[in-house]
A and B are shown apart, each in its own frame.
Chain A
Amino acid sequence: MSASLAPECNEVKERYDTCFLKWYSEKYLRGNGRTDDNECASMFKEYQKCLQVALKDRKIDKLLDEAREDSKDYDTIHLKRK
């Protein structure tokens, strides 16, 4: 089982991952996956509650913001060229 970067989130992450893989293979890949009937939503919420704290503590949230800014720059340049 792959670990979470925050060990304290391992348990909620595992529950979500298992749910996601089951949903993905049994529903989404068969054309039955919709946003509103996703049975993993509540598990995802719980997982994120734990993970977001960890991302902040480790300052990964800042790295993510920077990465998003760079994507924006790239899109602007890319669109200009077109």
Chain B
Amino acid sequence: MVLTHTTNHSYTHPFPTVTLAFFLRYYSPQLNPFSAHVLSTDTIDSHVDPETGRLHTTRIHLKKSRMPSAIIKLLPASVTGGAGEKSSYVLENSIVDIKEGWMKTESRNLNFTGVLSVTESQHYSATPPTRPTTRASLPPLGSRKTDKAAANEENSRGRFGWISGWGAKRIQSSIESIASNKTDDQIIKSRDGMKMVLERLRSNGVVAVLRELNRREGKSVFEA
């Protein structure tokens, strides 16, 4: 089953600030209280394409799963991907083109893909300078990899072959419906989080924001 949600939103902040907020949104729960479920964030690739000037970034986030633990317990380690029974790895790819004024991002889960795949794509773009707002759309929940899980289910020789067993279908459809029902709520929270980061950046620059966060944690940066 493939479900798609699409929403649009205009931020009343300049485009460059919105892209910065995207990179900062999981930086600290003090900056974004809606990021408390994010356990870690790592960058595995970051480069500027010399031809286009676009910044390509790949990050891995480890998030506490929102799935009910009763369901998680039914899943074998081969499905949870060994990240711990309540955690899920999310791969995030982003491209920023500052000259053309757009940012595209795509996030998807790396484990649990045998039961549910969620791909979240976002497209931010700057509207003409007269209206300095930034648009975001959050389409597809559950897209191509859900197809793949279904394919594995049919031939039942894939790594997730177990899922073709009795009862597994019911588990899968419960998980899908939970994920689907939670999506609208999650989009609002994620947007609220972005807004909080944006507000902090509006009143202070990024260096001041980081310095303040580090001061609270008893560290000093930028002084060296």
- Measured CB to CB, the residues of A under 8 A from B are 1-6, 9, 13, 16-18, 20-22, 24-26, 28-29, 31, 33-36, 38, 44, 47-48, 51, 55, 58-60, 63-64, 66-67, 70, 73-74
Cβ–Cβ contact A31 & B91, under 8 A: no
Inter-subunit contact B28/A70 (CB<8 Å): no
Q: Which of B28, B89, B206, B222 has a CB less than 8 Å from the CB of A2?
A: B28
Are A51 and B44 CB-contacts (below 8 A) given A28-B98, A29-B16, A60-B110? yes
Q: How far apart are the CA atoms of A1 and B41 in the complex, in Å? A: 10
Closest-CB distance, B126 to chain A (whole angstroms): 12
Cβ of B34 < 8 Å from any Cβ of A? no
In the bound assembly, the distance between CA atoms of A6 and B144 in angstroms comes to 30
The verdict on B190 contacting chain A, using a C-beta distance below 8 Å, is no
- Say what secondary structure dominates the interface of chain B: mixed
Say yes or no: A21 contacts B210, CB within 8 Å. yes
* A13:B42 contact, CB within 8 angstroms: yes
Which residue of the partner chain, among A29, A58, A59, contacts B20 with CB atoms under 8 Å? A29
- B11 sits at the interface (CB 8 A): no
> How close is B94's CB to chain A, nearest CB, in angstroms?
12
**Set A2, A29, A35: member contacting B27, Cβ < 8 A:** A2
Quote the shortest CB–CB distance from A37 to chain B (angstroms). 10
Report whether A74 and B42 are in contact in the complex, using a CB–CB cutoff of 8 Å. Answer: no
Known contacts A2-B38, A28-B55, A67-B110; is-contact A44 B46 (Cβ 8 Å):
yes
Query: Does the CB pair A22–B222 fall under 8 Å?
Result: yes
Q: Secondary structure of the A side of the interface?
A: helix
- In the complex, how many angstroms separate the beta carbon of B24 from the nearest chain A beta carbon? 7
Most buried by B among A17, A24, A70: A24
Q: Does B76 contact A (CB under 8 A)?
A: no
CA distance A35 to B45 in the complex (A): 13
Task: List B residues 54-85 near A (Cβ within 8 Å).
Answer: 55, 60, 62, 81-83
Report Cα–Cα, A21/B16, bound state, in Å: 12
Q: A3-B40, A4-B40 are in contact. Are A29 and B98 (CB under 8 A)?
A: yes
Residue B207 is within 8 A (CB to CB) of chain A in the complex: yes
B23 in contact with A21 (CB, 8 Å): yes
Bound state CA distance, A73 and B207, in angstroms?
41
For A44, the chain B residues whose CB sits under 8 A away are 43, 46
